[in-house]
Structure 1
Amino acid sequence: MNKPDIKLNPHPKMRYEITMTVEGAPGPFEKIEGHVDYHVSNPNSVPLTPFSGATVEPQADAPLTFEHVGGNVYKAFFYADRFLDEDYFGHGVCRWSLVGVTGNLIHEPITFSPSIFKDDVFSGRAVTRWFANDSYEDGSMRRIDIGASSAKEYKKPDDVFSVTLQTVEKVP
């Protein structure tokens, strides 16, 4: 399967602001960034791969630049309709869909990586991920820590910090 020349939507309308709030981190982060993930949501518009006979829906991501807006709060903007729905393979229009948004809080060699997925993005529901302070303090190896959905999932639930992600649609 040839990789298509994925086009940006020239007139995106679904603009969202994401707010990332960090509570109780045991120290600073050297870098805070993120990315937005997308995929083609209708597999019938994609040809079968020659060897496996399966369809592999195209995926793409876009970098996200968080700005520190004060205290422990960071904000960024993204478009849920970033990519152009088009017939990329001659099998009908590929419909691009948001998968989710990820923040990356980097404290070398660890990347704390909370995510919020499509349903929560579109509903405006806040998502909180919890991280162990021990993970922040253990710089013995490079790793990605996606956290847990509750502080109670840790051996020391009182020795954690949280990252909350929430989106709101902002009409351009």
Structure 2
Amino acid sequence: MNASLQTSNDTPPLRTLNPAPQRAFEVRVTLDGAPGPFATASAVAQYDVTNEAECGQKDELAGVFLSITSNETVALKRVSDTEYAGVVYVDGIVDEDYYGRGVCHWALTEARVVLQAGKDAADTRFVADLPAASVLGQGSRTRYFWNGYYPRAEMAGFREFGNADLASAQGRQAEDQREAFFSVTLAAREMTP
């Protein structure tokens, strides 16, 4: 999983966005028990080239073909105080011959959301994702986060990826401390054209 959002310092990959994508999925983000509001909610759809050895560039020093990844911004709309929704396109990037070595085939890897209590760079970034198989299968995934990292952990800009199940999350707390955690659930639903 590539857990970082693309920044302005990153060089964007050589790719062409699909001007008329056909397969759209609404990804809904639902918060449960959050210790406070989130001023910042951002999302990306990560796409990876599946055949970089046939179409990409080779790192001559390492002797390997470089992976080709693109994180495309997904506009999130606040539905309520505890819900956001955005649209992810499975066919968001055009398969083309980008490097003169053959057609690169792009595939959706995951949808990812990052939540922050405020706009300060020191605030904790709570990161939750939904793998492509779950998006395509119209499934969902829940992550549990410890409230103690809200609004910020001891380390500035800390990224918290949570736990897949509450029992694992409670490893640092007593079993009866459910209220010490909040959850973020991502769920996908295919949209009809």
Determine if contact 1:111/1:144 at 8 Å carries over to the other structure: yes
- Please give the alpha-carbon distance, in whole angstroms, between the structure 2 residues aligned to 1:81 and 1:6: 13
Determine if contact 1:13/1:171 at 8 Å carries over to the other structure: no
- Please give the alpha-carbon distance, in whole angstroms, between the structure 2 residues aligned to 1:106 and 1:4: 26
Identical-residue share of aligned pairs (%): 28
How far off is 1:4 after superposition?
6.5
The equivalent of 1:52 in structure 2 is 62
TM-superposition CA deviations, 1:55-105 (whole Å, max 9, x none): 012111111221111241111112121111011122221000111111111
Q: Where do 1:6-155 residues align within 5 Å?
A: 6-43=15-52, 44-108=54-118, 109-140=123-154, 141-153=156-168, 154=170, 155=172
Structure 2 gaps, min length 5: 1-11
TM-score by length of 1: 0.91
Determine if contact 1:38/1:60 at 8 Å carries over to the other structure: yes
Determine if contact 1:22/1:164 at 8 Å carries over to the other structure: yes
TM-score by length of 2: 0.82
Higher relative contact order (CA 8 A, sep 6+): 1
Cα distance, 1:71–1:29 mapped onto 2, change above 3 Å: closer
Report the secondary structure of 2:16's partner residue. Answer: coil
2:192 is aligned with what amino acid? V
Matched residue pairs, number?
A: 170
2:37 is aligned with what amino acid? P
Report the secondary structure of 2:162's partner residue. Answer: coil
Structure 1 gaps, min length 5: none
Bigger Cα displacement from structure 2, 20-29 vs 80-89: 80-89
- Please give the alpha-carbon distance, in whole angstroms, between the structure 1 residues aligned to 2:152 and 2:40: 17
How far off is 1:148 after superposition?
0.5
TM-superposition CA deviations, 1:116-171 (whole Å, max 9, x none): 11111111111000000112155433211111101111222511000000111113
